A and B are shown apart, each in its own frame.
Chain A
Amino acid sequence: MENTTSPWEEWRPGYNPYRRSPFQILGLSTIVKGPGPIRNAIRQRRQRIQNTPERFPLFGEPLDVAEVNEAEDRILDPEARLYAELCTHRPKLVTIDLGDVPSRLAEVAPPIPNPQGVLNAQRLARLVPAPVERTFPSLIES
C-alpha cells in the first residue's frame, strides 16, 4: 500500500489513534489468523455496518462502510498493519482450570414454577384500560 502514514504523523483535533485503529473499526482481534478468516470477519462486519450501523458504534461514534473499506486495506498491507498492531493492546490469552464447576453447574436444579401461585384479581384489574366514554349521533331524525 502506497503512502502509508503513521498513526501519529500529525495532530488532528478529536483524533486519538488508539480509539480508531483498523482493528477497532473492523472489530477484529490481532490474533485472527490467515487471510481467509480475516476476510470473512471483515465481510461480516461490513454487512453489519451497512445494515444496522446504529448497532455497531465504536466508542459511541457510528462507523460507515468507507471506514471499514479503508481499514481493510490497512489490515491487509504489511506496513499499515504493523502500525495498527502498534496501536493495539496485545490480547492476553488465558487458560483457566474450571475444576468441578461444570459438573456442579450441571447439578444445579432448574427453577421450579411455584405451584401455589394464584392470580391476584385486583392487580389484574389494574392492567385493564379504563372504559372510554363514547357518544353516537342519533339515527332518528326528530
Chain B
Amino acid sequence: MTSSEPCRAELQAIAAELRASLTESLSPDQQAYAALVKDGELHPWTEQAEAIWARASGSDPWRDHHLAILHHAKAYDLEMARSADAFQHWTAALRHWSTVHADDAFWARMARHLSGHMGTEIPPGVIDGVRARLPRELLEPHRDLIAAYQTSNPDRARSHMGVMTSAPFDPGVIDGIRLQFTEEVLAAVPDAVMTADFEVMITSLREWQRIDPDNAHFLRSLLYVYRKFNEQVWDADDGLTRVSGNVAAANQILQALGVSPPDPAGVAGYVDRLKALRPGGLPPGALTAEIARHEIWGGLVNYRLASRRFSWDSDPKSRRECEQGAFRAVKHFAMAHQLDPHLALDHYYAALPSIEASIESLWGLCLLEQKDHVGAAQHFRRATTLNPSDAEYYLGLAQALLLPDNVTYAALAEAEQAISRADALGAEVGTLRRSLQLRRALSLRR
C-alpha cells in the first residue's frame, strides 16, 4: 500500500455517497435526462433513458415532449437501419407528439420561454402557426418513405401507411397527406383508360392498394378501370371469360375490404359503411355508383352464362343452372338499382331495362320448360313492363297463361291482351289466337 491509498479511499467513499444521494433526490425524469448523456454528448435517445422513462411514475410537464423526441429520434435511427423495430417507435413518437400538440400549457410555456430567452417579442401567430402545422409536418416523412419503398419494399411501405393512418391526429390531416400520393397515382388513370392499358393500370393500382388497403379512392378507381376494361372486351370472342375474371377479381377486393355488396335489404347500412371509408374527398355517391356498375357486370356475366345453358331440349342440370344464372343476374341488377337509382341515365347503361327484360324472359322460358306456368307468367309479365316494345315477351306471357289445364277467365283476358299487343308489334300470333279460342271454348263448356 502506498501513502496515497487512504486519500483515494476517502474520495471514493464521498463519491459513492454523492451518487446515492443524487439518485435519491433526482426525479425519474431528471435521472432519465442524465442518462441521455453518453460519451460526453447529450443524445436524443439512449436505451438507459428509455428504460427509466418506461418505468417512471408521477408526472412531469415535459415528459411527453421528452418521450416524443426520444422515440422519434430512435425511429429515425432504426429506419435508416431498415429495422422492423422502427415502427413501434414511430407509433409511440406520434402518440406523444399528439399529446404535446393538444397540450395548451405546453405551448404557453414555450411562448413564455421563447420571449424570455430570445429577448425579443415573438410575432403573433408564430406559436399558433407551428402548432397548427405540426401534425401534418410530422406525417410528411411517412409520405416520403411510402413513396420510396413502394416498389422496393411494399411491406415496409404498408407499415408506414399503418403508422400514418392510425396516428392520433385529426383524420382530415391524415386524409390530406394520403390524398397527396393518391392523386399522383390516380393522375395516370385517364390516359391508361384512353390508351386501353387496363392491365398495367390495374397492376399499379393493386400494388398501391396492398400498401393502402382501405383507400376509397384506389378502390373506386380500380373498379372503374375494371369496368372500362369490361366495356372494351365484352363483345370480343373471349369477352365472357375476361369479364368473368375481372368481376371475380373485383369481388375479391371488395370482400377483402369487408364491403361485398349485401342483400338489397342491407343497402342502407352498406352505403353508410362505404361513406366511412377514408380518405374523404370523393364526390358524393361516386364509390356507390361504381359498385352499382360492378354489380351490373356481375349480372351480365350471369345472364350470358345462363343464356348459354338454355335450350328447349336441355337436360335438367342445364335448366337448373340456367335458372340459377338468371336468378343471380336479376339479383345483381336489383342491387345495382338500389345503389344507384340513376344508373339508366349513364348512356352506356341506358339499354339496361331491355337487358333486364331479356333476363326475365330467359327465366320465364326456363320455368315454362319446367311447366311452372305461374312463375313463367310472372317473369314474362315483368319483361313486358321493362321493355314493352318486344313482341316475344307478350308471346311468352300468353303461352305461359294458356298452357295450364285450368285457365281462369282473368288469365284468358290477360292472354288475349298480350296476343293483341304482340300482333300490334308485328308478331305472328295465329297459333296463339287459335289456342286462346280453344281454351275459351273449353272453359265455357266447363
Measuring CB to CB, which residues of chain A are less than 8 angstroms from any residue of chain B?
Answer: 6, 8-11, 13-19, 24, 30-35, 58-59, 76, 78-79, 81-83, 85-92, 94, 96-99, 101, 104-105, 108-114
Contacts and interface: CB of A to CB of B under 8 A. Distances in A.
B296 interface: no
From DSSP, what is the main secondary structure of chain A's interface residues? loop
Contact of A11 (B10, B113, B134, B148): B148
B69 A85 contact: no
> Which of B26, B137, B144 lies at the interface centre, i.e. has the most chain A CB atoms within 10 A of its CB?
B137
B244 interface: no
A23 B2 CA distance: 47
23 contacts: A9-B140, A13-B80, A17-B76, A18-B76, A32-B117, A35-B120, A81-B114, A88-B69, A89-B44, A90-B65, A90-B66, A91-B33, A92-B33, A92-B34, A96-B21, A99-B21, A104-B14, A105-B11, A108-B7, A108-B14, A111-B7, A112-B3, A112-B4
B26 A94 contact: yes
Nearest to B142: A11
A105 B14 contact: yes
Contact of A108 (B11, B36, B144): B11
A79 B18 CA distance: 41
Interface of B: 2-4, 6-8, 10-11, 14, 17-18, 21-22, 25-27, 29-30, 33-34, 36, 41-45, 62, 65-66, 69, 72-73, 76-77, 80, 110, 113-114, 116-120, 122-123, 126-127, 129-130, 133-134, 137-138, 140-141, 144-145, 148
Nearest to A32: B117
B137 A8 contact: yes
Nearest to B117: A33
Nearest to A99: B21
Contact of A109 (B7, B117, B127): B7
Contact of B118 (A81, A87, A96, A109): A81
Contact of A101 (B14, B65, B129): B14
Q: Which of A17, A85, A86, A89 has the most B CB atoms < 10 Å from its CB?
A: A89
Nearest to A116: B3
A85 B72 contact: no
Counting chain A CB atoms within 10 Å of each CB, which of B18, B22, B117 scores highest? B117
Contacts, number: 127
Contacts of A16: 44, 73, 76-77, 80
A89 B6 contact: no
Given A89-B69, A97-B25, A108 B130 contact: no
Given A82-B110, A87-B69, A99-B21, A114 B30 contact: no
Given A89-B36, A89-B42, A110-B7, A79 B76 contact: no
A86 B118 CA distance: 15
Contacts of A31: 117
A42 to B, nearest CB: 13
Contact of A85 (B6, B27, B76, B114): B114
Contacts of A86: 65, 130, 134
Contact of B117 (A10, A30, A83): A30
Contacts of B14: 101, 104-105, 108
B65 to A, nearest CB: 7
B10 A108 contact: yes
Given A33-B116, A82-B110, A98-B18, 14 more contacts: A6-B130, A8-B141, A10-B141, A11-B148, A16-B73, A16-B80, A30-B117, A79-B129, A89-B33, A90-B65, A92-B27, A99-B21, A105-B11, A114-B2
